[in-house]
Structures are given as C-alpha cells and as structure tokens.
Structure 1
Amino acid sequence: MRASTRPSPGLRAEPVLPAAPRRPADRLRLLLVGVTALVYAVVIVGVLADTALVRLDWSLELLKPYKRWPEVRPLLDVWIVAGQRGPSAVAACLWLGWRSYRTRTVRPLVVMGAALLLLNITVGGVKILTGRLGPHYAHYIDAPELFAGGTIFPSGHTANAVVTWGVLAYLAVRWRRTGAALAALTAASIGLTTVYLGTHWISDVVAGWAAGLLVLLALPWTEPLVDAVDRWVTALYHGPARSRGGVSAS
C-alpha cells in the first residue's frame, strides 16, 4: 500500500522560499573583482614569464624621467609621502578616530584596520614570493630581476594609496563620489610618481593598482565581522558604566 503524500491534519507544509536574487550592485562587484583579478594575474604572469611587459619596464626606466624633467622632482618627492603607509595611515586613522569619537562607534577604525590587514597579507605575500629588485638595484638590462631578495613587486606605495584613500571614500557619508574620484586620482598619481622617481617598474604600479582595488572590492564581504567587532567593543566600553549604574540604583 502506497503511503499518502498529503500532509497530516494539523500540520502545515513548510513553504519553499525562492532564493534571493542578487542585487545589481553585487553582480557589478563580482564582475569588477573578476576583471581586476584577471589584470593582476596577467601582470604577474607577464613578469614571471619575462614577456614584452618586462621590456616596457626597461624602456621607461632607461628614459630616466627624473633626469629629463628635474624641475618637478622637489614637488614629487613631497607628494610621494601620500602613498607611504606610515604617514598616510596615521593621518587617515587620526581622522577616523575623531569620527569614531563623534559617532560613538569604532566601525570606521575597524574597517580601516581590516583593509590594511588584507593589504599587508596579500601584497606582502607576493612581494616575498617574487623577490623582485627595483630599477635602482637592477643588474641586467631587459631582465625581470626576480627572486633576488627584493620587495618591489607589486608596488606597496601604489596599493597603499588605493586602499588608504579608497577606504576614506568608502566610509564617506556625504560626497562619496567626489571622494572616490579624488582617491582614484591620488592613487594614479602616486603610482606614476614612483615610475618618474625610478623606484618602481610600471608593471609594479599596475599590479599595485590591481592589488589595492581587490582589497577595496573585498571590504563589503568583511562587514559582518566588522559589525561583530564594533558591537563587542561597544559592549566592552559601556559594560562597566552600566554595572556601576546598576549598583548605585540599588
């Protein structure tokens, strides 16, 4: 005898909910992640395989831009500080710390911390694995100068500029598009400045742009962890005050 497929009286079948459709913003972010990762991979393979990309690196280096246009060097020597991790991160964290104090939430600082942690892990790992030397320390023309103990690929200056100023735009309440445009211009100019100064190959810079952008694109996926840390710190900060209030009230 075949068992009945009808639900028993008093029992209601669980409704089957359709899967939530992906929002257009999510699809766009996934597309950008894919394209950026592809560019990053192409540059890495191009350098490792000693392709025409390495010849382009050398052709730009042999131009010696800092010698051809020395009049702009004093300005660019100062501007490059905007891409250095120490000064830029300190300036950004001071501003975000003030925002955290005003809004009574550590979320801005946690987001910046998560971004810098991702940056250090991903970019630092590739630097160590490739061991590439910079233009000023290169030994052989048209050689990729890999696995020689260097830490030049990808460009940390460039990736840091993308992440630090990009996070400020990401956290902006107002003028987000303007902030994003300014962050993009800053990151672009910092990367090109390193090529002018001869401290990085152009392939280092392109890889730095891609690596930094990947970190920014990954930030929305860290939001659950950021919110959890924010709640934990807020509870930790307000806990003693509430406890004292409860004792005095009794």
Structure 2
Amino acid sequence: MRTDHTATRLDRLFARLDREPERQAHVDVPKMSRHRIVLLTVTLILYLAIVWAVLTTSRLVRLDWQLMFFRPYQQWPQLHAFADHYVVLGQRGPTAVLVAAWLGWRSWRQHVFRPLLALAVSLLLLNITVGAAKIGMGRLGPHYATVIGSNEMGSGGEIFPSGHTANAVVTWGILAYLASTPTARRWLSALSAAMALGVGLTTVYLGTHWLSDVLLGWAAGLLILLALPWFEPLIARAEAWLLDQRGQLRAPWRAQGGYGAPAPAGRAMVLRRRSPSAAEGLARDTISSAAHASRTPDQPAPCLHSPRSERTPVTPVGAHRPPRADGMSRGTTSAARPVTGG
C-alpha cells in the first residue's frame, strides 16, 4: 500500500536551502537617481556643518560636555550590562563576519558575486573615509579630555567621527541596499536605521563618544550608502571577471563529465544524464549482453531484439494443465465415433 509522505519542518528547511538554478536573475540595482543625489548633497552639507561646529567650539561642543558631566551610565546603572552587549552590534569585526556569512550564502545560492563585492566595496570606503577623518582631526574622547569646554581637536585621538556608529549604518544598511524587493528594502532600511541609532546612543550612554561624534558617524555611514550606486559599474566588471575565471576553472571538470577518470560508477551517471530513450536502449543492451554471457552453449536463448518468427521454440518445463480424462495427449485427435441411434 502506498502512503503519501508528509513534508516535515526539516524537509521544508532543506528545500529552502537548495541552490537556485544557475542563472543571472533580474536584480533591481539602485541607480544614482535625482532623489538620491539630493539626499547625498544634504547629508554632505550636514557632515561639513558638524565638523565646522566642533572646530569653532560652538554650542554643540557645550552640549557634549553637559552630557559627559551628566554621566548617563551612573544615572541608569541597570542598563549598563545590556549596553555593553548591544554596542557589539557596531563593532566592525563581529558585524562584518555575520553579514559576510549571510551574503556569502546568498551569493552561493544564486551563483553571483555581487552581494559580497558590494559589502567589500562599502567596508573599503568606510575604512578609508572614516579612518582618514579620525586621524586627520585627532579628537580625544570624553574619558581622555584634558580641558573643560574645549573641542579636544588635534590632540592625537581617534574618536571623531564615531566608528561604531558609522560601521552600524554601513554594515546593516548594506542588507537593505541589496534587498531584492521594494518592500523588503523599506523594512530593512527601518531596521538598520533603528540599530544604528541604538548603537550611537549606547556609546553616548557608556561615555565612550561625544554626541557630536555620533552625529558625524551617522552622516559618514549614510554618505557611503548613498554614494554606492556610483561604484556599481566597477562591481559589475569585477563580477564578470570572477564569473569568467570560475568558468575557466570548471571547463576541464565539465569536459570530463565531472570525473577525473572513467569508472564503473560513471556509467550510472551517463545513464542519468542522457535522454530517457537513449538510457532505455542502453539498459536493454546491458541486459542482452548479460543474458548472452550466462546461457550455456547447448541451450541457446533467443535474442531480445530478434522477431518472434525467427526465435527457436522452447518447450516449457512441466505441465500447467491437468491431463485429459481420455488419456490422450493434447496434440492427438481421436477417431470419429459412430453415432448410435436410439
């Protein structure tokens, strides 16, 4: 009796993990539209305004000192343990590994390299721009400040802009940038913005960054995400080169049918790769050769491909019907009996 197999949760999980067909699916690559250019310009102006406000020791610097003396970690000490773990979402090492693992699986499943290349380009831009700004402005953090009310610029520090905040914006925002549907992009944009906002405020709570550091970190990360479409042609050329190299590496393997040398097990693979009719014919030839090798010379067996009229008749062993009542064989005919009248 045949019973239908009900798919379990594990079966559905493995079905989702199966690779998609090797094809270049249509991907909605973000373009450098007019709306994006306007946002990029506004963010750049905000970036420069924050830098100018800190350099001139404006009210923004006064607010930095007020928050530092307020010491939020002492006002709400019950949040300190949670903040210590939550701020890890802005560290470059752990977040880059997590996001790279997800995008690597996505690249392997879809047979593309764009997700990983986009992540690599965004992290490279982040290290160059944020690192150069940190070293160039050399601002000290709240725990190392020396003069009350000063901007602490040019003192050899590496705190401005906030690397945790900028990294949170770029690393989690790249997931929204690479989303395949507009709905997923909106949801992931909101989620990444909330995570970046939380990471920045957590650094202010812990006293490791000024508020102006966090503001500049948000602007720096957003500038990278908004400028990323300009690097899409470079990403496309790099992906085409990688796909070409992969094809050249696979060419010898495909020419050998996936095997280095012919083996008996390879015959089954050939059967599976051929059309159904060719596989059927090869199977019949195999059965015929096996039957020819197993029969004895004094008892020839008919060929499976010979017509019925040319086959040698074979007497079956044993009778399948009971003997006739009159004792005569099946092949003989009885003499005509006279019909007696009554």
TM-score under structure 1 length normalisation: 0.87
How far is the alpha carbon of 1:238 from its aligned partner? Answer: 1.6
Is the contact made by 2:162 and 2:217 (CA closer than 8 Å) also made in structure 1?
Answer: yes
Q: C-alpha separation between the residues in 2 aligned to 1:130 and 1:141?
A: 18
Q: C-alpha separation between the residues in 1 aligned to 2:204 and 2:103?
A: 31
2:190 to 170, 173, 181: 181
- Aligned counterpart, 1:98: 105
How far is the alpha carbon of 1:247 from its aligned partner? Answer: 7.7
How far is the alpha carbon of 1:149 from its aligned partner? Answer: 1.0
Equivalent position amino acid for 2:70 in 1? L
Q: Is 1:109 aligned to residue 127 of structure 2?
A: no
Q: C-alpha separation between the residues in 2 aligned to 1:210 and 1:31?
A: 14
Instruction: Say what the alpha-carbon RMSD is for the aligned residues.
Output: 1.6
2:92 to 68, 85, 102: 85
Q: C-alpha separation between the residues in 1 aligned to 2:42 and 2:75?
A: 35
How far is the alpha carbon of 1:244 from its aligned partner? Answer: 4.8
Is the contact made by 2:32 and 2:229 (CA closer than 8 Å) also made in structure 1?
Answer: no
Q: Is 1:128 aligned to residue 128 of structure 2?
A: no
Query: What SS does structure 2 have at the residue aligned with 1:241?
Result: helix
How many residue pairs match? The answer is 226
Q: Larger helix proportion, structure 1 or 2?
A: 1
Aligned residues with identical type, % of pairs: 52
Q: C-alpha separation between the residues in 2 aligned to 1:141 and 1:88?
A: 35
- Aligned counterpart, 2:299: none
Farther-moved stretch of structure 1 (238-247 vs 54-63): 238-247
Task: Name stretches of at least 5 consecutive residues in structure 1 with no aligned partner.
Answer: 1-23
- Aligned counterpart, 1:229: 238
1:49 to 47, 56, 59: 56
Q: C-alpha separation between the residues in 1 aligned to 2:95 and 2:246?
A: 28
Query: CA offsets per residue over residues 9-38 of structure 1, 9 Å max, x none?
Result: xxxxxxxxxxxxxxx971111110111001
- Structure number with the bigger relative contact order (C-alpha 8 A, sep ≥ 6) is 1
Q: Give matches, 1:1-250, under 5 Å.
A: 26-174=33-181, 175-245=184-254
Q: C-alpha separation between the residues in 2 aligned to 1:47 and 1:245?
A: 62
TM-score under structure 2 length normalisation: 0.64
Task: Name stretches of at least 5 consecutive residues in structure 2 with no aligned partner.
Answer: 1-30, 258-342
Query: CA offsets per residue over residues 62-89 of structure 1, 9 Å max, x none?
Result: 1000000000110111000000000001
Query: CA offsets per residue over residues 189-229 of structure 1, 9 Å max, x none?
Result: 10011000000000000000000000000111111000111
Is the contact made by 2:73 and 2:205 (CA closer than 8 Å) also made in structure 1?
Answer: yes
Larger radius of gyration: 2
Farther-moved stretch of structure 1 (232-241 vs 80-89): 232-241
Query: What SS does structure 2 have at the residue aligned with 1:172?
Result: coil
Q: C-alpha separation between the residues in 2 aligned to 1:25 and 1:148?
A: 38
